[in-house]
Amino acid sequence: MIVTFTLLRYRPRGWYGAFANMGRWMMQPFQTDGLQFQKMMGCGRNFGLIPDMSAYVFLGVWTDEQAARSFFQSDRWKRICQNTKEVGTLYLHPLRSHGAWDGQNPFGSSSEFRPDGLPIAVLTRATIRLSALPDFWRHIPQARERLKNHTDDLLLALGVGEKPLVQQCTVSVWKNAKTIEQFAYRESGHKEVVRRTRERRWYSEELFARFAVVASEGLFFGKPLASEALTIKS
């Protein structure tokens, strides 16, 4: 199995077409060999409520890397990429995950793979209870500020979503396993948020997953995903 995470950023003249692509995908998701799970999602500006009409994310779970690469050469994908100013794709090997996304766990876990020195991607996804929406969004600025304190270790961070307000997903990429462990288990602010989600039952469904970033192609906000342990493919 391989998971791909693609960030597409569009020129202003492509914004309408990109938004229309979301609608087409919702009515007719991609049909291609080897694609086991897929999501097309919009991005929020700075992890907030305001949508970023220039940026979208495609997440795919594939039987193998060749299936993913074949799709990325297809005509339909090339149409999705029209009028982009940059496209960046991460190839991810699942390490562990728990929870559910639309009633299933699409990633699984791999206890045998050793991500020594590789960047680590962390994905969280949740459906937020309607009664918890004000409380949840009130704490987003605090979470955003905590990430800013880790700019030396954090390679990429995005807030994305399937449905505005209620179905949210975050993806962050860290230099290595040590840096994410330090953030997750030693920072009191992060632990406090995790505790609060349990106590206040913010989510009706949630999933947490970690991946090793095994390859990167293209650009993310004007630059490749840089890491000494990762061979950048351009």
Residue 233 has a pLDDT of 41
Query: Angle 188-200/140-148 helices, nearest 10 degrees?
Result: 160
The CATH number that applies at residue 179 is 3.30.70.100
Single pTM value for the model:
0.88
List pLDDT tens digits, range 4-32.
Answer: 999 999 999 999 999 999 999 999 999 99
- How many domains, in total, are found in the chain? 1
Q: Which domain holds residue 81?
A: 2-233
Q: How many CA atoms lie within 13 A of 62 on its CB side?
A: 24
Q: What pLDDT shows up at residue 141?
A: 67
* HSE of 183, CA atoms in CB hemisphere, 13 A: 22
Which one is predicted more confidently, 165 or 81? 81
Query: So what's the pLDDT on residue 207?
Result: 95
Ramachandran bin of 99, using left for φ above 0, alpha for ψ from -120 to 50, beta for the remaining angles = left
Q: What is the mean pLDDT of residues 177-198?
A: 66
Note the pLDDT tens digit of each residue in 85-137.
999 999 999 999 999 999 999 998 877 777 788 999 999 999 988 887 887 77
Distance (Å, whole) CA 57 – CA 41: 5
